[in-house]
Amino acid sequence: MNTSQWFTEQLPNAETAFSLKIKNRLHEEQSAFQHIEIYSTHGFGNLMVIDGCTMVSTRDNFFYHEMMSHVGLFTHPNPKKVWIIGGGDCGTLKEVLKHSTVEHAVQIDIDERVTRLAEIYFPELCESNNDPRADLKFIDGIKWVKDAAPNSVDIIIIDSTDPVGPAEGLFGENFYKDCYRCLADDGILIQQSESALLHLTLIKEMRQAMTHSGLTHQQTVFFPQCIYPSGWWSATLASKQAFMPFREQDIINKEFNTEYYNEDIHKAALAQPEFFKKAFQNK
Protein backbone atom coordinates (compact mmCIF):
# COMPACT_ATOMS: atom_id res chain seq x y z
CA MET A 1 0.00 0.00 0.00
CA ASN A 2 1.48 3.36 -0.98
CA THR A 3 0.89 6.86 0.34
CA SER A 4 -1.84 7.50 -2.25
CA GLN A 5 -3.90 4.66 -0.74
CA TRP A 6 -3.55 2.21 -3.61
CA PHE A 7 -2.79 -1.45 -3.06
CA THR A 8 -0.51 -2.62 -5.87
CA GLU A 9 0.61 -6.13 -6.69
CA GLN A 10 3.70 -6.05 -8.88
CA LEU A 11 4.94 -8.85 -11.12
CA PRO A 12 8.53 -7.86 -11.84
CA ASN A 13 9.22 -10.84 -14.14
CA ALA A 14 6.24 -9.88 -16.31
CA GLU A 15 6.83 -6.14 -15.88
CA THR A 16 3.17 -5.62 -14.99
CA ALA A 17 1.21 -4.51 -11.94
CA PHE A 18 -2.39 -4.34 -10.77
CA SER A 19 -3.80 -1.75 -8.37
CA LEU A 20 -6.99 -1.10 -6.43
CA LYS A 21 -7.78 2.13 -4.65
CA ILE A 22 -8.42 1.35 -1.01
CA LYS A 23 -10.27 3.00 1.82
CA ASN A 24 -8.38 1.39 4.66
CA ARG A 25 -6.75 -1.79 5.90
CA LEU A 26 -9.25 -3.81 7.92
CA HIS A 27 -6.94 -6.52 9.21
CA GLU A 28 -3.36 -7.75 9.09
CA GLU A 29 -1.70 -10.78 10.64
CA GLN A 30 1.07 -13.30 10.20
CA SER A 31 -0.45 -16.76 10.53
CA ALA A 32 1.61 -19.87 11.07
CA PHE A 33 1.86 -20.20 7.29
CA GLN A 34 1.49 -16.84 5.54
CA HIS A 35 0.96 -13.09 5.81
CA ILE A 36 -2.73 -12.18 5.48
CA GLU A 37 -4.20 -8.71 4.90
CA ILE A 38 -7.78 -7.56 4.40
CA TYR A 39 -8.53 -4.20 2.75
CA SER A 40 -11.69 -2.23 2.07
CA THR A 41 -11.55 -0.91 -1.49
CA HIS A 42 -13.51 1.78 -3.29
CA GLY A 43 -14.63 -0.31 -6.25
CA PHE A 44 -14.20 -4.01 -5.41
CA GLY A 45 -15.55 -4.32 -1.88
CA ASN A 46 -13.28 -6.21 0.50
CA LEU A 47 -9.99 -7.60 -0.71
CA MET A 48 -7.93 -10.46 0.78
CA VAL A 49 -4.20 -10.41 0.13
CA ILE A 50 -1.88 -13.30 1.02
CA ASP A 51 1.88 -12.82 0.97
CA GLY A 52 1.41 -9.67 -1.10
CA CYS A 53 -0.76 -11.35 -3.75
CA THR A 54 -4.44 -10.60 -4.37
CA MET A 55 -6.59 -13.62 -3.51
CA VAL A 56 -10.27 -12.73 -3.43
CA SER A 57 -12.47 -9.64 -3.68
CA THR A 58 -16.15 -9.12 -3.01
CA ARG A 59 -16.85 -7.84 -6.51
CA ASP A 60 -15.27 -10.38 -8.83
CA ASN A 61 -14.78 -13.65 -6.92
CA PHE A 62 -17.75 -15.31 -8.66
CA PHE A 63 -15.81 -15.73 -11.92
CA TYR A 64 -13.23 -17.94 -10.26
CA HIS A 65 -15.43 -19.86 -7.84
CA GLU A 66 -18.09 -20.70 -10.42
CA MET A 67 -15.61 -21.82 -13.07
CA MET A 68 -13.50 -23.85 -10.64
CA SER A 69 -16.56 -25.81 -9.54
CA HIS A 70 -19.34 -26.01 -12.13
CA VAL A 71 -17.24 -26.86 -15.19
CA GLY A 72 -15.94 -30.00 -13.55
CA LEU A 73 -19.14 -31.01 -11.78
CA PHE A 74 -21.24 -30.68 -14.92
CA THR A 75 -18.62 -32.63 -16.88
CA HIS A 76 -18.73 -35.54 -14.45
CA PRO A 77 -21.76 -37.84 -15.02
CA ASN A 78 -22.79 -38.01 -11.34
CA PRO A 79 -20.50 -36.29 -8.83
CA LYS A 80 -21.18 -37.40 -5.26
CA LYS A 81 -17.89 -37.04 -3.39
CA VAL A 82 -15.81 -33.89 -3.79
CA TRP A 83 -12.56 -32.78 -2.21
CA ILE A 84 -11.39 -29.16 -2.32
CA ILE A 85 -7.68 -28.77 -1.60
CA GLY A 86 -7.16 -25.20 -0.46
CA GLY A 87 -10.15 -22.94 -0.97
CA GLY A 88 -10.00 -21.50 2.53
CA ASP A 89 -12.24 -18.55 1.61
CA CYS A 90 -15.02 -21.17 1.13
CA GLY A 91 -16.34 -19.72 -2.14
CA THR A 92 -15.68 -22.88 -4.12
CA LEU A 93 -17.26 -25.00 -1.38
CA LYS A 94 -20.39 -22.85 -1.59
CA GLU A 95 -20.65 -23.42 -5.36
CA VAL A 96 -19.97 -27.17 -5.08
CA LEU A 97 -22.77 -27.61 -2.56
CA LYS A 98 -25.27 -26.04 -4.94
CA HIS A 99 -25.25 -29.41 -6.73
CA SER A 100 -27.88 -31.73 -5.28
CA THR A 101 -25.94 -34.80 -6.43
CA VAL A 102 -23.08 -33.97 -4.05
CA GLU A 103 -23.35 -36.05 -0.89
CA HIS A 104 -20.09 -35.11 0.79
CA ALA A 105 -17.68 -32.21 0.19
CA VAL A 106 -14.42 -32.07 2.12
CA GLN A 107 -12.47 -28.82 2.14
CA ILE A 108 -8.86 -29.25 3.20
CA ASP A 109 -6.92 -26.04 3.82
CA ILE A 110 -3.74 -25.92 5.86
CA ASP A 111 -4.42 -22.43 7.24
CA GLU A 112 -7.54 -22.10 9.39
CA ARG A 113 -7.03 -18.35 9.70
CA VAL A 114 -8.00 -17.84 6.04
CA THR A 115 -11.40 -19.39 6.71
CA ARG A 116 -11.97 -17.57 9.99
CA LEU A 117 -11.18 -14.23 8.35
CA ALA A 118 -13.41 -15.08 5.38
CA GLU A 119 -16.27 -15.71 7.82
CA ILE A 120 -15.83 -12.15 9.08
CA TYR A 121 -15.02 -10.22 5.90
CA PHE A 122 -16.59 -12.41 3.19
CA PRO A 123 -19.60 -13.97 4.96
CA GLU A 124 -21.46 -14.42 1.68
CA LEU A 125 -18.80 -16.97 0.64
CA CYS A 126 -19.24 -18.95 3.86
CA GLU A 127 -23.01 -19.44 3.68
CA SER A 128 -22.67 -23.21 3.19
CA ASN A 129 -20.03 -23.89 5.83
CA ASN A 130 -22.65 -25.43 8.12
CA ASP A 131 -24.27 -27.52 5.40
CA PRO A 132 -24.40 -31.11 6.77
CA ARG A 133 -22.61 -32.29 3.61
CA ALA A 134 -19.66 -29.96 4.27
CA ASP A 135 -16.57 -31.12 6.15
CA LEU A 136 -13.92 -28.46 6.83
CA LYS A 137 -10.46 -29.76 7.72
CA PHE A 138 -7.45 -27.59 8.54
CA ILE A 139 -4.64 -29.97 7.67
CA ASP A 140 -2.06 -30.58 4.96
CA GLY A 141 -3.92 -31.33 1.72
CA ILE A 142 -0.94 -33.18 0.23
CA LYS A 143 -0.89 -35.58 3.18
CA TRP A 144 -4.68 -35.97 3.06
CA VAL A 145 -4.52 -37.18 -0.54
CA LYS A 146 -1.49 -39.40 0.13
CA ASP A 147 -3.28 -41.14 3.03
CA ALA A 148 -6.70 -41.47 1.36
CA ALA A 149 -8.13 -44.73 0.09
CA PRO A 150 -7.92 -45.64 -3.62
CA ASN A 151 -10.91 -44.81 -5.85
CA SER A 152 -12.53 -42.87 -3.04
CA VAL A 153 -13.53 -39.56 -4.68
CA ASP A 154 -15.26 -38.30 -7.83
CA ILE A 155 -13.91 -34.74 -8.03
CA ILE A 156 -10.72 -33.18 -6.65
CA ILE A 157 -10.56 -29.40 -6.95
CA ILE A 158 -7.13 -27.84 -6.36
CA ASP A 159 -8.15 -24.34 -5.28
CA SER A 160 -4.63 -23.27 -4.38
CA THR A 161 -2.61 -20.12 -4.21
CA ASP A 162 0.27 -19.64 -6.65
CA PRO A 163 2.78 -22.54 -6.74
CA VAL A 164 5.08 -21.13 -4.06
CA GLY A 165 5.29 -21.73 -0.32
CA PRO A 166 2.62 -24.08 1.08
CA ALA A 167 1.06 -24.58 -2.39
CA GLU A 168 4.21 -25.52 -4.31
CA GLY A 169 3.71 -29.26 -3.86
CA LEU A 170 0.18 -29.08 -5.29
CA PHE A 171 1.59 -28.71 -8.81
CA GLY A 172 3.98 -31.67 -8.75
CA GLU A 173 3.97 -35.12 -10.30
CA ASN A 174 4.05 -36.98 -6.97
CA PHE A 175 0.91 -35.17 -5.83
CA TYR A 176 -0.87 -35.90 -9.10
CA LYS A 177 0.04 -39.58 -8.77
CA ASP A 178 -1.68 -39.63 -5.39
CA CYS A 179 -4.71 -37.88 -6.92
CA TYR A 180 -4.78 -40.49 -9.70
CA ARG A 181 -4.89 -43.27 -7.12
CA CYS A 182 -7.71 -41.64 -5.15
CA LEU A 183 -9.90 -40.76 -8.12
CA ALA A 184 -12.60 -43.13 -9.33
CA ASP A 185 -12.22 -44.32 -12.92
CA ASP A 186 -14.45 -41.52 -14.19
CA GLY A 187 -13.09 -39.02 -11.66
CA ILE A 188 -11.93 -35.52 -12.58
CA LEU A 189 -9.18 -33.32 -11.19
CA ILE A 190 -9.61 -29.55 -11.54
CA GLN A 191 -6.46 -27.49 -10.96
CA GLN A 192 -6.32 -23.70 -10.96
CA SER A 193 -3.66 -23.11 -13.60
CA GLU A 194 -2.74 -19.44 -13.56
CA SER A 195 -2.69 -17.15 -16.61
CA ALA A 196 -2.03 -18.65 -20.03
CA LEU A 197 -0.68 -15.26 -21.11
CA LEU A 198 1.90 -14.93 -18.33
CA HIS A 199 2.44 -18.48 -17.08
CA LEU A 200 2.40 -20.70 -20.18
CA THR A 201 5.61 -22.46 -19.16
CA LEU A 202 4.08 -23.35 -15.80
CA ILE A 203 0.99 -24.76 -17.51
CA LYS A 204 3.17 -26.87 -19.81
CA GLU A 205 5.10 -28.27 -16.85
CA MET A 206 1.90 -28.88 -14.89
CA ARG A 207 0.22 -30.73 -17.75
CA GLN A 208 3.35 -32.79 -18.35
CA ALA A 209 3.35 -33.80 -14.67
CA MET A 210 -0.33 -34.75 -14.97
CA THR A 211 0.43 -36.91 -18.01
CA HIS A 212 3.27 -38.69 -16.23
CA SER A 213 0.96 -39.40 -13.29
CA GLY A 214 -1.56 -41.17 -15.55
CA LEU A 215 -4.01 -38.27 -15.88
CA THR A 216 -3.53 -38.27 -19.64
CA HIS A 217 -6.76 -36.54 -20.67
CA GLN A 218 -6.64 -32.80 -20.10
CA GLN A 219 -8.66 -29.72 -20.95
CA THR A 220 -7.78 -26.16 -19.99
CA VAL A 221 -10.65 -23.68 -19.71
CA PHE A 222 -10.37 -19.90 -19.62
CA PHE A 223 -12.25 -17.15 -17.82
CA PRO A 224 -11.83 -13.53 -16.73
CA GLN A 225 -10.52 -12.75 -13.27
CA CYS A 226 -10.00 -9.05 -12.81
CA ILE A 227 -7.75 -9.01 -9.75
CA TYR A 228 -5.37 -11.76 -10.92
CA PRO A 229 -2.30 -11.14 -13.10
CA SER A 230 -3.30 -10.28 -16.69
CA GLY A 231 -7.01 -10.36 -15.75
CA TRP A 232 -7.35 -13.65 -17.68
CA TRP A 233 -7.18 -16.92 -15.73
CA SER A 234 -7.50 -20.63 -16.32
CA ALA A 235 -8.36 -23.99 -14.78
CA THR A 236 -7.20 -27.35 -16.11
CA LEU A 237 -9.30 -30.51 -15.94
CA ALA A 238 -7.51 -33.86 -15.97
CA SER A 239 -8.76 -37.45 -15.87
CA LYS A 240 -7.80 -41.08 -16.45
CA GLN A 241 -10.15 -41.47 -19.40
CA ALA A 242 -11.67 -39.27 -22.08
CA PHE A 243 -14.17 -36.72 -20.84
CA MET A 244 -17.83 -37.35 -21.49
CA PRO A 245 -19.76 -34.47 -23.13
CA PHE A 246 -20.73 -32.01 -20.44
CA ARG A 247 -24.33 -32.26 -19.21
CA GLU A 248 -25.68 -29.29 -21.13
CA GLN A 249 -29.35 -29.94 -20.40
CA ASP A 250 -28.64 -30.18 -16.68
CA ILE A 251 -26.94 -26.79 -16.83
CA ILE A 252 -29.94 -25.29 -18.62
CA ASN A 253 -32.27 -26.78 -16.00
CA LYS A 254 -30.08 -26.09 -12.96
CA GLU A 255 -32.03 -25.15 -9.87
CA PHE A 256 -29.54 -22.64 -8.50
CA ASN A 257 -28.34 -19.18 -9.45
CA THR A 258 -24.98 -18.23 -10.92
CA GLU A 259 -23.64 -14.83 -11.87
CA TYR A 260 -21.32 -15.88 -14.71
CA TYR A 261 -21.54 -19.59 -15.48
CA ASN A 262 -24.12 -21.04 -17.88
CA GLU A 263 -24.17 -23.48 -20.80
CA ASP A 264 -22.88 -20.90 -23.30
CA ILE A 265 -20.04 -19.85 -21.01
CA HIS A 266 -19.09 -23.52 -20.58
CA LYS A 267 -18.94 -23.97 -24.36
CA ALA A 268 -16.95 -20.76 -24.82
CA ALA A 269 -14.46 -21.64 -22.07
CA LEU A 270 -13.53 -24.82 -23.96
CA ALA A 271 -12.34 -22.83 -26.98
CA GLN A 272 -8.56 -22.81 -27.24
CA PRO A 273 -6.68 -19.65 -28.25
CA GLU A 274 -4.45 -20.21 -31.26
CA PHE A 275 -1.18 -19.63 -29.37
CA PHE A 276 -2.29 -22.11 -26.73
CA LYS A 277 -3.20 -24.76 -29.30
CA LYS A 278 0.19 -24.36 -30.97
CA ALA A 279 1.97 -24.67 -27.63
CA PHE A 280 0.35 -28.08 -27.06
CA GLN A 281 0.42 -29.53 -30.57
CA ASN A 282 1.39 -33.18 -30.52
CA LYS A 283 1.37 -33.15 -26.73
Torsion of CA 132, 136, 137, 142, to 10 degrees: 110
Residues recorded for the chain: 283
Whole-angstrom CA distances from 187 to 82, 95, 104, 265 are 10, 18, 15, 22
Q: Would you list the DSSP string of 8-30?
A: EEEETTTTEEEEEEEEEEEEEEE
Closest CA to 234 of 276, 186, 263: 276
The one catalytic residue among 60, 154, 159, 162: 159
Crossing angle of the two packed helices 173-182 and 200-213, in degrees rounded to 10 = 50
Does the active-site annotation cover 159?
A: yes
Q: Do 20 and 43 contact (CB within 8 A), yes or no?
A: yes
Rounded distance, CA 51 to CA 101, Å? 36
Tell me which residues are annotated as active site: 159
